[in-house]
Structure 1
Amino acid sequence: MPLEIIQPDGLDRPTTYSHVITATGGKLVFIAGQMSDDSDGNLVHAGDLASQAQQVFANLGRALSAAGARPSQVVRLGIHVVGHRREYLPIIEQARIELFGDHKPTDTLIGVETLAAPGYLIEIDAIAVTD
């Protein structure tokens, strides 16, 4: 199942995401918001955005694998960051690249006041299309 990545003329050329992805056929996989939890559901890396981002993307990778999906099949990410500031972007992008490499899913990054419980700084959900 091929994905077609489109970077429309007249729009900027982002380094970590795509403006448009089309997909045909296949199975849709919806991944709930992943947070910086260990396998017992306990918050890890409280107060450390870089470590939480790494944990969140690792958890996202585990969820994709459990569904039979690969990171290269992700078409959309929803990224929620507590108190987002522009200087957080390189931190999030580094963790993102560890999972996705050169693949650039579409995304929306939203700054939020809080997440499900105190101490969590980032949550990411995803949609993938598999073969």
Structure 2
Amino acid sequence: MALEIIQPEDLDHPKTYSHVIVATGGRMAFIAGQMSDDRNGDLVAPGDLAAQARQVFANLGRALAAAGARPDQVTKITIYVVGHRREYLPVIEEARVELFGDHKPTDTLLGVETLAAPGYLIEVDAIAVLD
């Protein structure tokens, strides 16, 4: 499996994501939206976006590991944020970097009115291409 990361010269150069990833070979893993639950299914840190973002990306890492995937094999994530505002970006990016480090999967960030249950502020799903 190989991932070719492309940052077109005539587009901006984002700090935390890539514009294009071309994947060849391997199997694919589709990870459902991860929320800020603990292992018992209880909401972690109601009202605290930073803590919920850390939990979401930690849960995403656990789900990837269960599929036999590494964070550097993720090609695409979608981030859903309740009532998103631009000032939330650094908080989300910090949690994201804890999982992905220098790897920059493609992404889409959507501001949403609500998630599956009250109190949840962020959810992230992923697609990975495995070796």
Name the TM-score class by shorter chain: over 0.9
Deviation at 1:4, TM superposition (A): 0.2
Name the residue aligned to 2:69: 69
Name the residue aligned to 2:82: 82
Matched ranges for 1:27-66 at <5 A: 27-66=27-66
Aligned length: 131
Calculate the TM-score normalised by the size of structure 1.
0.99
Name the residue aligned to 1:113: 113
Amino acid at match of 1:84: H
Amino acid at match of 1:9: E
Q: Deviations over 1:27-62 (max 9, x none)?
A: 000000000001111111100000000000000000
Give ranges in structure 2 of 5+ residues lacking alignment.
Answer: none
Amino acid at match of 2:78: G
Secondary structure of 2:57 counterpart? helix
Name the residue aligned to 1:12: 12
Q: Percent identity?
A: 78
Secondary structure of 1:107 counterpart? strand
Structure 1 stretches of 4+ with a deviation exceeding 2 A read none
Amino acid at match of 1:60: L
CA RMSD, Structure 1 to Structure 2 (Å)? 0.4
Deviation at 1:97, TM superposition (A): 0.3
